């Protein structure tokens, strides 16, 4: 690992200006904090990865649950949008660039993960084409600013995993989730609705289309909050909700399952939003949700 992955979506999906980006992140984090929706300190978060003009404010409701003190590593699990993979992949780079400052990949953890034989390696083009991990880097750099130079990241690109593979990676990663020096960031948007997404599920019982979408999302969110791994899998099989980070979420739920004998975990969603309130069949929208996972102090 010798190269630096460029911030290839800076200037398009989010501001390429460090000053402007800092100002935006501070504004969103401030509003989220003032809302009073606290579920901290986060051991793991779920947050969206769309362009910041759409999902940035929602993501703040996950990132404001992070307390940097004591965190030495940030695992980032993002879904692969452009390349089919039946497994999980690690970066070939040594650093990830952000407009704020560069983030160093944890070589020791990467070596341990590679040695399991369960991970492939992304080429740099695949790495830079994918946005699901990159969209979290500026937020991580901002909230971890006080630990700059003293924490590392562990980016993991998650492929189209079968349930048994989600369980396998969850088992493999659960020891890292148990370590209070580690933070997990799970990258996922929720329902992608509309003809352009080839998903137009609509239950008229809930009223307008956007209310039906929210009801469908919240059904899945309730199962995730309940840490119901099998229930979430059945929900996806039944409704086919287009939650693009369903596999990273599945890995997290399985990691929590594997760790429950040693620690207790509580997952709570802190915000929900939609890019557009759909009212007609010609409309489209993407949903965003933020969540935080904490370990109660008595466990």
Residue 298 confidence (pLDDT) = 75
Residue-wise pLDDT tens digits, 55-113: 999 999 999 999 999 999 999 999 999 999 999 999 999 999 999 999 999 999 999 99
Domain 28-294 has CATH 2.60.40.10: no
Residue (of 164, 13, 146, 121) closest to 71 by Cα position: 146
Q: State how far the Cα of 246 lies from the Cα of 192, in Å rounded to an integer.
A: 12
When the pLDDT of each residue in the chain is averaged and rounded to a whole number, the result is 97
Percent of the chain whose predicted confidence (pLDDT) is above 70: 99
Q: Is the peptide bond before 150 cis (omega within 30 degrees of 0)?
A: no
**Average pLDDT score over residue span 219-224:** 98
The pTM (predicted TM-score) of the whole model is 0.97
Residue 297 confidence (pLDDT) = 86
- Structural domain boundaries of the chain? 28-294
Residue-wise pLDDT tens digits, 102-122: 999 999 999 999 999 999 999
Residue 1 confidence (pLDDT) = 54
């Amino acid at each position: 690992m010798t190269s630096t992955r460029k911030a290839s979506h800076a200037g398009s999906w989010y501001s390429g200006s460090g000053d402007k980006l800092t100002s935006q992140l501070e504004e969103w984090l401030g509003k989220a904090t003032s809302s009073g929706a606290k579920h901290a300190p986060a051991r793991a978060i779920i947050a969206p990865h769309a362009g910041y003009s759409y999902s940035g404010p929602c993501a703040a409701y996950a990132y404001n649950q992070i307390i940097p003190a004591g965190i030495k590593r940030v695992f980032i699990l993002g879904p692969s949008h452009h390349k089919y993979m039946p497994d999980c992949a690690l970066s070939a780079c040594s650093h990830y660039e952000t407009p704020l400052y560069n983030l160093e990949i944890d070589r020791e953890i990467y070596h341990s993960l590679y040695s399991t034989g369960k991970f492939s390696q992304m080429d740099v083009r695949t790495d830079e084409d994918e946005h699901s991990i990159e969209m979290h880097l500026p937020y991580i750099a901002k909230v971890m600013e006080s630990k700059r130079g003293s924490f590392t990241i562990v980016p993991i690109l998650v492929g189209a995993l079968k349930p048994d593979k989600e369980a396998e990676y969850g088992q493999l990663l659960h020891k890292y989730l148990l370590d209070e020096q580690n933070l997990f960031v799970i990258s996922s948007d929720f329902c992608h609705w509309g003809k352009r997404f080839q998903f137009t599920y609509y239950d008229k019982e809930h009223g307008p289309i956007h209310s039906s979408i929210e009801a469908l999302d919240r059904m899945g969110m309730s199962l995730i909050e309940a840490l119901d791994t099998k229930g979430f899998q059945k929900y996806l099989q039944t409704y086919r909700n287009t939650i693009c980070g369903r596999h990273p979420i599945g890995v997290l739920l399985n990691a929590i399952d594997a760790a429950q004998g040693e620690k207790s975990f509580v997952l709570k969603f802190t915000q929900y939003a939609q890019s557009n309130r759909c009212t007609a069949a010609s409309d489209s929208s993407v949903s965003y949700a933020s969540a935080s996972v904490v370990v109660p102090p008595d466990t």
